[in-house]
Every structure is written in C-alpha cells, then in structure tokens.
Amino acid sequence: MNLTLESPVQYVPRVGPSMAGKLRNLGIRTVYDLLTYIPFRYDDYSLLSPIARVQPGETVTVVGTLASIKTFITKNGKRLVTARLTDASGSIDIIWFNQQYLVKVLSAGDTLSVSGKVNWFGPKLVFSSPVYEVIQKESEGKGSLHTGRLVPVYAETAGLSSKWLRGRIDYVLEHCLSSVVDYVPDEIIRSERLMDIREAIQTVHFPNSQEDANRARERLSFQELFVLLLRSYEQKRVWDTTLKSRPLTISVAIFDRFKKLLPFTLTADQQTAIAEIFADLARPIPMNRLLEGDVGSGKTVVAAAAMLAAYESQTSAILLAPTQILAQQHYETLSLIMEQHGISVELVLGGMKTHESKQVHPDTKRSARQATPRILVGTHALLTAKDLPKKIGLIVVDEQQRFGVNQRAELRKLTQTAFTPHQLTMTATPIPRTLAQTVFGNLDISVLRNSPSGRTPVKTWVVPQEKRAAAYAWIDKALHDTRSQAFIVCPLIDESESLLTVKAVRSEYDRLKRDVFPKRAIGLLHGRMKSDEKTAVLSDFRQKKYDILVATPVVEVGIDIPDATIIVIEAAERFGLSQLHQLRGRVGRSDKPSYCLLFTEGEDPEVRTRLKALETTHDGPTLAELDLTLRGPGELFGTRQHGLPGLTLARLTDIAMVARARRSVTLITGRDPDLAAFPHLREHINQSKIDTIKD
Ligand code: ADP
Ligand code: MG
C-alpha cells in the first residue's frame, strides 16, 4: 500500500496495530505525526575512535568485528552478556547487563558500531551497556542511525524505545518526507531566513551538528507560533464578522439600585470591569471577555452585574462553575444579590433536572419558562439539562481551564444558535501581559488588580528545615490562642491525583495527628473523595469541627473559609509561584492577620530565592510574569490543563521569536485577510480549526 502523510501510522512497515496503540499514547496517529515527533535531545556519539585510542570516561563510537559473545554468570549469580570487539588497532570488551537476548541477536563475525561511555572494569577498559548497531553490507554508505553521530533521543512510552522510533522515523523520512508541503509563504521564509521545511524535518531528527539541529528547531518553532497567532487572529475575525448576539442593556436607575443594595462599595477595578462589560454587552457582537482577578478580588459581583443586565434585557443568564461546591457557593452569593431585585436564582447540579431544582414552580408551563428570563447556576450538567431557556443572553464561566474536554464541546453547541450568547470567563490564573497580547489576542481582558479594602496581605515565610518544629509549635499555639484554623496542603505526587498521592496525603494526615498536633481536630480532603464527602468535610471545617484541614492542592479554588488564617504548603518548591499565590489566597479572607508558611524539602539556595519572591510580592500578575520567565508557561497553567494549544518546540517566553511570528502574521493578514493567495496555509488553518473543535 502507498503511504501518504495522512495514512494511519499502523501501516508503516514494522508498526502494526499493537505498536500503533503505543504510538497513540504519544499522540502519534498518522505518518505525518510520526514525521514531526520531535526528539527532546541528542546523544553525541559523533566522536569516532580507533579501539586502541579510547580513553576512560569518554563517550565514543568504535566500529569493529565481533570476535566473541557469550553469557557470563558472576559470583553472586547475576547474568551478564560479555563480548569482544576488534578493529585494526586492537580490541575491547563490552558488558551488557540484563540483556540476555543479545546472544541470540548478535553473533561472532558481525560488524558492529558501538557507542557509549568507556570505563575501567578491574584492570581493563570496557564499554558497559553501550548502544550498538549492526552494520549491514547493503546499508553501507547510508549512514548509521544509532551510533557514530548526533543520535536523537525521543520521549518514550512503555514498550517503545528511542531506538525503535529512530528506525521507523528513518523509514518515513525516506518514503514520505518529499510529500510535505510548506504552508508558510515563501516571502516569509525568505524574509525570516528560515530553513526549508523538508530540510528542517530531516535535520531535526538526524542533524549533522548541534548548530544544524538548532536551525531546524528554530524553523519549526517559528511555524508553531505563526500558526498559533494566525489562528487566534482568525478566531477574532470570525467572531467579530460572523456572529450576532442580542444587545443587552441595563438602565442607570437599576444599576444604581444594584450598587446601593450591595453590602459594600465596588472597588475602582470592579467599576471599570463592569463598565467594560456593559459596553461589550450593548453591542450586537458577542462579548468574549476574560475577567482576571486573584482569589478574593471580587469577581462574583462583577458577574452578577452582567447577569442582571441580561435579565433586565429579557434574556436568561447562566453561570457555570467547575465543581458542585463552587456552584453551590455561587448560588448562595447570587441569590443574596438577586433576591433584592425580586429575581430568584436556580441551582442545577448533576443528576437534577432543571424542573426538580430549587426555586422552580412545577405548575409553570414549560413554554412560559422558556420565554421568561431566568438566572441559572450550575455545573456542566446544566448544559445538557432538558428545558433550558430559549433566549440565553449571557454565559458566565468560572475557571474555564478546569473544564474537561466534553463540557467545552457542549458549551460550544449551546452557543451555536442564531444569536450567540455573550461570554464572560472568570479566572484566578493571572495571565502575564506578554501572553495576553499574543496567545490570547482573540480575547478582551478585564483585570481586578486590587483586593477589596480591609484585606491585609498574607504574611509569608519560607521556612527552612531546621525551623520546622518551631513552626509547628507556633501554629499549635496560634490555633489555640486565636481560635483560628489552618490548611496544610500536600503536593501531588504525580500529575493527576492518583492513589499514590492520596496515600501520601493520608500518611501525612496520620503523622500530623499522631506526632505533631495530638490536641487538635484534623480533617482530610482530597480529590479522590466523593463530591458529597468533600462537601461534608468542608462544611465541618467551616463550622469549626476541625482546627486543621489537611488537603491536596485540588482543594477547590475559591473555597471561602473566613476563619482560616494559616496555610502551610509542603514541598513548596514543587509548585509554581502563581500556584502558590493562589493557594495562599485561601487565607486572608477576613480582616484578621493571616500567614502562609512555605516548607521545602531540600536546601537548594536557588529554590529558596525563587520562593522568597512570595514574601515580598503579593501581586498575582507580577508573580505570573516571574513564573513565565523562570519556568515557562507549562508551569504557569499546570501541565495538563494549561489550555494552551499544543506547542512542542516553541516557547512563549521566547519574546523575540513571538515578535517575529507576530510581525509575519500582521504582514500577511494586512494584505490578504482571507489568505486567498496562500491556499496551503488556508487549508492548514482550517484543518487546525477542526482540531480545536474536536478537542
Ligand atoms: P473571587 O474573585 O475569588 O471569586 P469573590 O467574588 O468570591 O472573589 O469575593 C470575595 C469576597 O469579597 C466575597 O465575600 C465578597 O462579598 C467580597 N467583596 C467583593 N467585592 C467587594 C468590595 N468591593 N468590598 C468589600 N468586599 C467585597
Ligand atoms: Mg470565585
């Protein structure tokens, strides 16, 4: 069969269904995916040496004839494979550990290229577990893949080795590379002095030098950013030119009453954000705005103002929260505000039909309910509820990056009506300006910078190992003297909240109970608990049945426990600064002084310096910018749910590269917004749009 770039990877010779399944775990489905699976580093085996000249400690490649190969059993019963390799200058021994099969694969007389480190073994120099490659007569002149050069090393998954991947990638390079088309316009390739795409793909796998590899990577990362920015430009253009929505307005009188009935005055930032939102809502183009503000900065009341505007304009408003606990919390807050205006709020949780939810009168006719405006709060379950209102004017999404894949698709479906609801997304993840202007160029952003007055910044200390005991004693006393409460946050052991993490947090909980705070009541909260168990633990904590809550970081963002004034974060070095800042935001929610203690595992002075930034800086976006430069965007957004498109090579922190890509996008779209003159590019952008919708 004829392989094309779109062929499923299983049709590549020596792949097959089972290996294809493993490749899928690496995100490789097609021949093209395999072709563009980028190595994460290279082993330098380019130093070729005659056997007699090898030096202890050096990494070299030698080529020789296998004189002998056999299994060897050591005095303590370990099985080794030993071999002797000979060239014109001399011979050297090779030892392989745990690779018994080699005696079946290799035999005396084979010509072998061997790369690895040479070391003393007793009185002799040997290669220990080197990589090897049998040099076949017929492949002479073709060059080696695994030895004697810069050798690509790929991220592997169980059952797939770099060596195997190298072989398959070499195959598709030979057979399919020529059909790759360059969708980056010629003039940009010329003006940006980029490598040809086919050369770049070939070189990124099998470079002749590190400089070559760098040039290939530069070309490929340029392309990633170029496409990313172009897509975000395109989204905004489509949004602005093809979507319609109902203009929503609120009368001055009603908004004044809204402000008057609040138990506080709006901060300047809140007023600005509301004004920006009202201006968006009044247009016949759907709003697509991000409301960014630290935990506790008062985003909910801003959302409430927008929802009231929707209601006053005879449309319904929906607020989506990522968890039941947060939905409940929003429901309570919004009810308090809306009731003053004679509006009742409905809560929809998983498993409940809207007509079973609170506040809805069962005798109301269904059509009537669809026609009259409503205010709904719920989790994603709401999106699939039966009798949703017909005229949805506004959707507010809290912490969208925490939404799973399917929910986002549901959200999209809901918005594909003749009138698109205006959309407001709230997030506590601070987005550094550099990112906001590039990747999120299709969003408008409002920021709540200052917390409502009355909050004192959380006093923060990085606690060295030797002060840990004293810190515990201080906490114990503080809990006793001021009747306040504490969070103790343990890190995730692995990315998802696996059983391993649960086990770790549970054993820390046992240790604290037994050895550290025997006199305090301690609760435990982790993401693997059932949702009603979580709710129960939190409500017990709020009612002060516990002094201390031991939790994993998935303890819900936005949880409001006013009497918690101390937060301890274990292994703080494992978190990004923004994430620590968000965790710390769970205290300092009342006028009492609050404290954040950062415990670290090691004594690395660099780690301490990084964490010390939290002692002096209490501003989310500044910390985010720091994170971005220190650790990159993956850290900032959490590796799994960062919501950033799949960049494999490019770094958003590479400001110069982002600027180059941006300049090129402006150049092209300024002249040709439809990309009519660039059919390959047009097709690629359409293609990647489909990818986004699928995900
Ligand atoms: P978040 O941005 O984390 O969602 P919330 O909207 O939950 O923050 O607000 C946090 C707390 O601050 C709430 O108790 C809210 O009533 C209060 N709050 C909001 N705005 C103000 C304000 N302007 N002045 C005083 N308190 C406010
Ligand atoms: Mg909130």
Specify the domain boundaries for CATH 1.10.150 within the chain: 1-42+162-180
For residue 429 and ligand 1, the question of a CB distance below 6 A is answered with no
Strand ranges inside 354-478, DSSP E: 375-378, 392-398, 422-427, 444-448, 459-463
What's the CATH number for 252-282+297-427?
A: 3.40.50.300
Q: State residue 99's pLDDT score.
A: 86
HSE value, Cβ hemisphere, 13 Å, CA-based, for 178? 3
CATH top-level class for 459-617? Answer: alpha beta
Each residue's pLDDT tens digit, 238-289 = 777 888 899 999 999 999 999 999 999 999 999 999 999 999 999 999 898 8
Collapse the DSSP code of 597 into the 3-class scheme (helix H, G, I; strand E, B; otherwise coil) and give the result. strand
Lowest mean pLDDT among 288-292, 473-477, 481-485, 656-660: 656-660
Q: State residue 377's pLDDT score.
A: 96
Each residue's pLDDT tens digit, 286-337 = 898 889 887 778 999 999 999 999 999 999 999 999 888 889 889 999 999 9
For residue 270 and ligand 1, the question of a CB distance below 6 A is answered with yes
Could you tell me the distance, in angstroms and rounded to a whole number, from the CA of residue 236 to the centre of ligand 2? 27
> Is 534 within 8 Å of 326 (Cβ atoms)?
no
Locate 363 and state its tokens: 């005798």
The ligand that comes nearest to the alpha carbon of residue 302 is 1
Give the nearest ligand 1 atom to 585 CA: 3
Give the nearest ligand 1 atom to 448 CA: 2
Choose the CATH number for 1-42+162-180 among 1.10.3470, 1.10.150, 3.30.70, 1.10.287: 1.10.150
Specify the domain boundaries for CATH 3.40.50.300 within the chain: 252-282+297-427, 459-617
Output the CA angle 20-23-27, nearest 5 degrees. 125
Q: State residue 530's pLDDT score.
A: 85
For residue 620 and ligand 1, the question of a CB distance below 6 A is answered with no
For residue 585 and ligand 1, the question of a CB distance below 6 A is answered with no
R_g over Cα of the chain? 30
Collapse the DSSP code of 55 into the 3-class scheme (helix H, G, I; strand E, B; otherwise coil) and give the result. coil
Collapse the DSSP code of 448 into the 3-class scheme (helix H, G, I; strand E, B; otherwise coil) and give the result. strand
Q: State residue 465's pLDDT score.
A: 85
pLDDT surpassing 60 at residue 145: yes
> Is 304 within 8 Å of 334 (Cβ atoms)?
yes
More confident of the two residues 137 and 681: 681
Could you tell me the distance, in angstroms and rounded to a whole number, from the CA of residue 376 to the centre of ligand 1? 20
The pLDDT of 471-499, averaged and rounded, is 85
For residue 301 and ligand 1, the question of a CB distance below 6 A is answered with yes
Specify the domain boundaries for CATH 2.40.50.140 within the chain: 47-148
pLDDT surpassing 60 at residue 368: no
Output b/e per residue, 255-288; b: 16+ Cβ within 10 A. beebeeebeeebbebbebbbebbbebbeeebbbb
Give the nearest ligand 1 atom to 333 CA: 16
Give the nearest ligand 1 atom to 265 CA: 23
Q: pTM of whole model > 0.75?
A: no
Instruction: From 526, 609, 601, 517, select the one nearest 566 (Cα to Cα).
Output: 517
Q: Does domain 47-148 have CATH number 2.40.50.140?
A: yes
